[in-house]
Structure 1
Amino acid sequence: MLTDYQRKVLRILYNYKSGRRRFPTIHELTVKTGKYKADVMAALDALVSESYIQWDDKSATANIVILEGWEREEEKPHLPKAPLTVKPSNTDYWTQY
C-alpha cells in the first residue's frame, strides 16, 4: 500500500506527463510536493520497488516509465460502511436552512 506522499508523487508524475508530455524534474517535484530531494528520491524508489514505475537509468526523470498510474484497488484501505440513515427529502433544504 502506498503512503499518501508516494501516491501524491505518482499522481504528479502521471498528470504532469499527460499534460506537458514530459516528466517533471527532481527540482520540480520538490517544488510541487514541498519536500526535500531526499524525500522525493525515497518516494520514487518506493514506487520502483512496488512496481508502479520503472526507472532503470536514474540519471534523469525523463527515463521513468509509468507501469500503473493509480493505486491498486486491492491495496486501498476500505472504510467500514456507515449504517443507512433516513434520506432527507427535497423540502429539507428549504425548511431547515
Structure 2
Amino acid sequence: MMEDIDRKVLRILINHSRMTQTVPSIRKLCIKTGRSDSDIRSILKKLADMGYIEWNPQLPEQVKLLESPGRQESPSRYR
C-alpha cells in the first residue's frame, strides 16, 4: 500500500516531468517534501519496487516514470 509521502513524491515526479520534460533532482524533492536525502532515496526505491518508476541507486538522478495499465494508481491517472 502506498503511503501519503510516496504518493506525494510520485505526484511531484509526474507534475514536474509533465511541465519541464525532466524529473526533479533528489535535492529538489527534498526541498519540496521537507524530507532528507536518505528518506527520498528510500521512497524512490519503494516506488521502483512497486513498479511506478525505474530507478537505480547508482544513478540517483535518473528516474523514469512507468505506466502500468493494470495498476489501480497508474501515473497516467495524474496526467
TM-score bucket of the superposed structures, by smaller chain: 0.7 to 0.9
Tell which structure's C-alpha radius of gyration is larger: 1
Cα 1:39–1:56 shift into 2, 3 Å: closer
Distance, in Å, in 2 between the alignment partners of 1:55 and 1:20 is 19
Structure 1 moving runs of 4+ over 4 Å? none
Q: TM-score, with normalisation over the residues of structure 2? A: 0.79
Distance, in Å, in 2 between the alignment partners of 1:19 and 1:58 is 26
Q: Give the CA deviation at 1:58.
A: 3.6
Q: Give the CA deviation at 1:57.
A: 6.5
Cα 1:68–1:2 shift into 2, 3 Å: farther
Q: TM-score, with normalisation over the residues of structure 1? A: 0.65
Structure 2 residue ranges without an equivalent (≥5)? 74-79
RMSD: 1.9
Aligned match of 1:28: 28
Q: Give the CA deviation at 1:65.
A: 1.2
> Which secondary structure does the structure 2 equivalent of 1:22 belong to?
coil
Alignment of structure 1 residues 15-94 onto 2, 5 Å: 15-56=15-56, 58-61=58-61, 63-68=62-67, 72-73=71-72
Percent sequence identity over matched residues? 37
Structure 1 residue ranges without an equivalent (≥5)? 75-97
